[in-house]
Chain A
Amino acid sequence: MRANRSFEIGTGLFVLLGLAALLFLSMQLPANGLKFSFSKPVGYDVTAQFDNIGSLKVGAPVRMAGVRIGQVTRIDFDTNTERAKVWLLINPHFNQIPMDSAASIDTEGLLGGQYISISPGGMPTYLKAGSEIIQTQSALVLENLINKFFANFASKNGSKSSGGGAKEQK
């Protein structure tokens, strides 16, 4: 009876553990699965609006001079300004970021994800919970960059051969 009980408990534990692992794999891991956050990070929220966030994702790091100071917690579209609104959770440890700091979206590495880089301003007042970073710079979208480059290239070539005939391309 005793041995029977312990083997039943062992089996139950194994099955529950396996099902929990299956649930984690199918719900937490894929992008199109259900998600719930299990650990709430601490810090204060600031917002920033961008014209284009590229492929920035929730969970992307926020960096200042390359040092991680927080992460992106939410991304939404602001219907009033018609821009992307991004919520940043900054560690409470970094509480002296000047109010006029600028946020830009950079890419790390060649295939890397995007992150938000904050370059400090000079104001004596600091960002606090709920404040907004006004100065922002959008993500560099590689395709746009290449398009611009080629358009520029074509117009320059055009101006050389036919005397500025392709100027309106710009």
Chain B
Amino acid sequence: MSAASKAGVIEAVRKTGVAGLFFVRLLGACLPALARPKLIIAQIYNAGARSLIIIMLSGLFTGMVLGLQGYELLNRFGATEALGTAAALALLKELGPVLTALLFAGRAGTALTSEIGLMRATDQLTAMEVMAVDPLRYVAAPRFLGGLIAMPLLTAIFNVIGLFGAQLIGVQMLGVDHGTFWSQTQSAVALKDVTEGIVKSVVFGAVVSLIAVNEGYHAEPTAEGVGLATTRTVVASSVMTLLLDYVLTAAFM
């Protein structure tokens, strides 16, 4: 192994260690941060309410595509009545949490990273430390908690809109019976499936927010450094989302 790649491996291990230590410190800062709900509410607005349009549009079109593709496939077996079941299970268990997490990483995660990274680059975080104000408590923890709270809510909205999108195509356009669509869906979906989706979305929310806050907090304090950190946020959170999705799916089997 060459010296350069050895240094690269050590650097990667060090970065993981930094992220792990940061996570522990962040968790420690979360409890005192709860004493300032205004800061958290502001972050729920930033991460959640402002992602609403993109989530709703994506959910609608995902559902509509599921309606079309599901109908096309089920029609081959003469089982188009199962369209609602197929769409609901696909949305609840996989597409809802995963697509929302990917969109969330792109929409809210990047904003978090570049915001905190710029605070670091313009020495705002250092100024806070000088004033004996813990930036973890006032900057990082509210953003992490805001993302953690916003993700499950966004996922639920994505799922409901997607389901109605599938219904729009399946029932209104392709003529699956309305009553059959919903009664088959209701009889096939168990509370366990809903729980699986919610647990996934909470985990994804925590991971994406953590990666975004961590990358911003440890970004190199230059314009280039902030840009690189933002890119790393998207790449790392997308990969982690898909990886953890497999782990969680296997765990729920």
Contact = CB atoms under 8 A, between A and B. Distances in A.
A131 B154 CA distance: 48
A115 B42 CA distance: 51
Chain B, interface size category, equals: 35 or more
B80 A14 contact: no
B159 A115 contact: no
Interface stretch (A25-33, A78-86, A140-148): A25-33
Interface string B174-206: 000101101111111111011101100000000
B79 A112 contact: yes
Nearest to A24: B160
A118 to B, nearest CB: 15
B42 A29 contact: no
Interface in B75-104: 77-82, 88, 92
B187 A57 contact: yes
Contacts of A13: 49
Interface string B152-178: 111011011001000000000000010
Interface string A91-118: 0000000000000000011111101000
Nearest to A41: B179
B45 interface: yes
A22 B191 contact: no
A35 B183 CA distance: 12
Nearest to A7: B45
Interface residues of A, number: 37
Interface in B20-48: 41-42, 44-45, 48
- Residue with the highest number of chain B CB atoms closer than 10 Å, among A15, A17, A18, A26: A18
B180 A60 contact: yes
A72 B82 CA distance: 18
B198 to A, nearest CB: 7
B191 A32 contact: yes
B248 interface: no
Contact of B180 (A8, A26, A35, A59): A59
A19 B88 CA distance: 18
Contact of A115 (B150, B160, B180, B198): B180
Contacts of A28: 186
B186 A29 contact: yes
B191 A14 contact: no
A25 B194 contact: yes
Nearest to A59: B183
A61 B49 contact: no
B49 A109 contact: no
A14 B49 CA distance: 5
Nearest to B184: A113
Contact of B186 (A22, A30, A61, A108): A30
A112 B187 contact: no
Contacts of A58: 183
B201 to A, nearest CB: 10
A21 B184 CA distance: 20
Contact of B78 (A7, A10, A31, A112): A112
Contacts of A24: 156, 160
A71 B178 CA distance: 10
Contacts of B190: 30-32
11 contacts: A10-B45, A29-B194, A30-B191, A57-B184, A58-B183, A59-B179, A72-B179, A109-B77, A112-B80, A113-B184, A115-B180
Interface of B: 41-42, 44-45, 48-49, 52, 77-82, 88, 92, 150, 152-154, 156-157, 159-160, 163, 177, 179-180, 182-191, 193-195, 197-198
Given A35-B186, A61-B180, 12 more contacts: A11-B42, A14-B45, A21-B156, A22-B156, A25-B197, A29-B186, A31-B188, A60-B179, A68-B177, A108-B81, A112-B79, A112-B180
